[in-house]
Amino acid sequence: MKLVSWNVNGLRACLGKGFLDYVKEEDPDILCLQETKLQPEQAVFDLDGYHRFFHSADKKGYSGTAILTKEAPLSVAYDFGGDIHRHEGRVITAEYADFFLVCCYTPNSQDGLKRLTYRLQWEDDLRGYLKALDAVKPVVYCGDLNVAHREIDLKNPKANRMNPGFSDAEREKMTELIASGFTDSFRHLHPEATGVYSWWSYRYHARENNAGWRIDYFIVSDRMAGRIRSAEIRTAVYGSDHCPVVLELDR
């Protein structure tokens, strides 16, 4: 089974930059998208063979997630937790026979870490949600999680320490999640790989210089780690400031 996660930074824009060609070539069983920036009725494109589930923010043109899946899920749920987490279209959960899939676009802590307090609440509440799902059946948790966990997950760790996505607190929340029964699939297979990133700023020729961050993940329940066949980052795929990340699981 092949799963893809991609922050498309505006699906309508990405459609004009080779999105459909990439999907047809990659041919994933499940495709998770973040930062779609549209309402469901605006998702007009030809891609046969997929059931489509779109979730939009209350604020138009902001955030948003989607799951496109060849196999129809048993159920689909939108958002999680209390009302505070239910207005930005950031989470879709699809239930399959032997696992839950959670597609997530994690809130950015923003310049000056001005949204860090909310971000840390989000992390605690979402970890509780994932653990509750995991108590029922294994979980595949993916998306733009807006954190570079380790120093090898970004090009310039010293210069970026305490910037959004690389604050000590955000990194510690990822450590807590992993310690609570989950596996970072990329690091499981590539524990010390360096220079492999999934996001680059549009400024300063960052992508040309590979001055990037690995902030897009597939994280699975520990008991699924033995099913990980491959975990790759498609750095050669353009169309967004992020590139797709790919997970292959043995069925």
Catalytic residue among 96, 105, 129, 197: 105
- Quick check: is 144 catalytic? yes
Q: Is 117:78 a contact under the CB 8 Å cutoff?
A: no
Q: How many helices (DSSP H) and strands (DSSP E) are in the chain?
A: 6, 14
State the catalytic residue, choosing from 144, 153, 184, 216: 144
Residues recognised as catalytic? 105, 144
